[in-house]
Amino acid sequence: LSVQELVEASVARISETDTKIGAFLTLNEEGALAQAKDMDASGAAERGLLYGLPAGVKDNIVTEGLRTTCASQFLSNYDPIYDATVVEKLKAAQSVTIGKLNMDEFAMGGSNENSSFQLTRNPWDTDRVPGGSSGGSAASVAAGQVYFSLGSDTGGSIRQPAAYCGIVGLKPTYGLVSRYGLVAFASSLDQIGPLTKNVEDSAYVLQAIAGHDKRDTTSANVEIPDYTAALTGDIKGLRIGVAKEYLGEGIDPQVKERVMEALKTFESLGAVWEEVSLPHTDYAIATYYLLASSEASSNLARFDGVRYGVRAEDPANLLDLYKKSRSEGFGPEVKRRIMLGTYALSSGYYDAYYKKAQQVRTLIKRDFDQAFERFDLIVGPTAPTTAFRIGEQVGDPLTMYLNDICTIPVSLAGVPAISVPCGLADGLPVGLQIIGKPFDESTVLRAAHAFE
Ligand code: GLN
């Protein structure tokens, strides 16, 4: 198969399915075809790790000359002048970027219903959400439009849509993958990671994008192991802790059943499991929404109508320009978070909210440190339910926020986690979340691979 044929197949699949699915915001058809022809012509003697594979990129990751909107009206005209580090790395690994994928505006949300441009539909049932915020990234892989995609995960945005769409989604350890060129939502939580059909592909894509980057001050300077070499199939003796709090109240009984069945599979593969408690789980959502919104309110201050994106017309003065541009440019969920975060950071409230949340974050992290003294991995569901219906939770942000109860603590702790499909509930995919020690993606991938 030539690269051109691969790219043409991807483009054909998109034109066949995307009027229904709505995964893509921008297509790079011409660029992708030109790149493919070049690659075929030069017949690369030494092939990159992802040679010729059609890829989709979430629209909050900047791509040189290719529109990057964060699914926001504010950036509806923004064409970046540089590539994010991960995009450079994809180029070096020789995959072909087919286009940019829909998301919740600025990655705030869990259903793609906060995109200011379009809905994305779940390929398993187009009346349902694909999850979010990397909903376009998950749906495009599930619908067979691209071979793999990149998403970003701040509180679950890779893992939850992967679970809802029946694919594999990996959130790496905070700092493993460079955030340079990822439009910041909550900088202390944001991580880029792969969405793929299977665990082996996940290992390959991670291999291509991981690594130290001096342009990201929080990038970790660690040795990158051979992730594919970790996929031995052997998990004998592995100690698994089952997060008790993730299987409590609010979890769909069928989801719980699938997770319990997964544990039996692990047992049959020679692993041992036991219940473990992560006692501060109850505080995770409140902690996350204070911290993530605080960071967002600061990060999004750069969108003022002067430097990036759309500028409001006919402002009376400079302050009015800021006001008008921000009022027109941001959608309702983004405004809600900016207000929440600004409040939490304001003098007089800072100690009660932001500082307190930082302290609780440390306790949540400690829950994981303690559990990992006894276990190699922690498992649980990725989300308490399967994909919900479009419109079902709109107007009820609190219920929407609760969907992330199993993914948010992991983000606050900064540890890696993967979501792998573990069967169906009423015909819809269920995701199993496998959580690892910091920078131990190898064990996470090994267990996920042995399981799938
Ligand atoms: N759903 C969560 C939120 O709305 C997580 C989003 C994310 O991980 N980007 O903030």
pLDDT in tens, 107-158: 999 999 999 999 999 999 999 999 999 999 999 999 999 999 999 999 999 9
Average pLDDT for 29-48: 91
CA angle (360 as vertex; 359, 361 as ends), nearest 5: 90
- Ligand 1 centre from 292 Cα, in Å? 9
Half-sphere exposure of 108 (CA within 13 A, CB side): 27
- The percentage of the chain sitting over the pLDDT mark of 70, rounded to a whole number, equals 100
133 lines ligand 1 (CB under 6 A): yes
| Letter string b/e over residues 31-40, b meaning 16 or more CB atoms within 10 A of that residue's CB | bbbebbeebb
**The pLDDT of residue 45 is above 80:** no
**The pLDDT of residue 96 is above 70:** yes
Indicate which atom in ligand 1 lies nearest the CA of residue 109.
4
pLDDT at res. 249: 84
Residue ID of nearest Cα to ligand 1 atom 4: 109
Interface confidence: ipTM more than 0.95: yes
Instruction: Tell me if the bond preceding 133 is cis, omega within 30° of 0.
Output: yes
Mutate-to-test residue for ligand 1 from 58, 59, 104, highest number of ligand atoms within 8 A of CB = 104
Nearest to 120 by CA among 104, 106, 108, 107: 104
Residue ID of nearest Cα to ligand 1 atom 5: 155
- Ligand 1 centre from 119 Cα, in Å? 17
| Letter string b/e over residues 240-255, b meaning 16 or more CB atoms within 10 A of that residue's CB | bbbbebbbeeebbebb
**The pLDDT of residue 291 is above 70:** yes
pLDDT at res. 361: 98
Indicate which atom in ligand 1 lies nearest the CA of residue 400.
1
Average pLDDT for 247-259: 94
- Residue 75 DSSP class: G
- Ligand 1 centre from 412 Cα, in Å? 12
**The pLDDT of residue 222 is above 70:** yes
pLDDT at res. 107: 98
Average pLDDT for 289-305: 97
State the pLDDT confidence band at 264, using cuts at 50, 70 and 90.
Answer: very high
- Ligand 1 centre from 157 Cα, in Å? 5
pLDDT in tens, 372-430: 999 999 999 999 999 999 999 988 888 888 899 999 999 999 999 999 999 999 999 99
Nearest to 147 by CA among 9, 1, 2: 9
Tokens representing 148?
């793999």
pTM over 0.80: yes
242 lines ligand 1 (CB under 6 A): no
Average pLDDT for 320-325: 97
For the ranges 178-187, 232-241, 298-307, 395-404, the lowest mean pLDDT is seen at: 395-404
Average pLDDT for 358-373: 98
175 lines ligand 1 (CB under 6 A): no
pLDDT at res. 44: 66
- Return the number of other C-beta atoms located less than 10 Å from residue 226's C-beta: 10
340 lines ligand 1 (CB under 6 A): no
**Residue 229 phi, psi (nearest 5):** -65, -20
Q: In whole numbers, what is the pLDDT of the chain averaged over residues?
A: 97
**The pLDDT of residue 250 is above 90:** no
Average pLDDT for 186-194: 98
Half-sphere exposure of 426 (CA within 13 A, CB side): 10
Residue ID of nearest Cα to ligand 1 atom 10: 108
- Ligand 1 centre from 109 Cα, in Å? 5
- Return the number of other C-beta atoms located less than 10 Å from residue 359's C-beta: 9
Residue numbers annotated as active site: 58, 133, 157
pLDDT at res. 110: 97
Cβ contact 12:57 at 8 Å: no
